[in-house]
Amino acid sequence: MERLLLLFVAGALAGVFVQPGSANPTKPHIVFIVADDLGWNDVGWHNPDVKTPVLDQLAHEGVILNQSYVNYVCTPSRTAFMTGYFPYHVGSQHVVFAPKRPQYIPSNFTF
């Protein structure tokens, strides 16, 4: 009886960690949340006066990355995030890509 219960529990736990259709069942799901103009004290885990319950839950169940560098405008940060290169190497360190203007990341950089 104990063996059957142990087998059932092991099977149930294996089902939790295996995603249907996944080639690698141990591969984690990674979600980055990037917000423009979000200050240090604009989230609940840094400032108890700010109520962000969903973000607080996500942060405490995951990883809080709090030692990072971002640029003063959005395009360089987004470029670095999407290409994996410093904006200086891509050529977008000082610009903001505005709508309806012919600006782009060079085609030799992949997303």
Read off the pLDDT band of 6 (50, 70, 90): very low
pLDDT at 99: 82
Fill in the amino acid letter for 86: F
Are 64 and 45 in contact by the 8 Å Cβ rule? The answer is yes
pLDDT-derived band at 53, boundaries 50, 70, 90: very high
Share of the chain above pLDDT 90, in %: 8
Residue with tokens 């290409």: 83
Q: Rounded distance, CA 11 to CA 5, Å?
A: 10
User: With bands split at pLDDT 50, 70 and 90, how would you rate the model's confidence at 22?
Assistant: low
pLDDT tens for 56-109 read 998 888 888 777 777 778 888 888 888 889 888 888 888 788 888 887 888 888
Q: Report the run of H or E that residue 10 belongs to, with start and end.
A: helix 2-17
In angstroms, the CA 109 to CA 58 distance is: 31
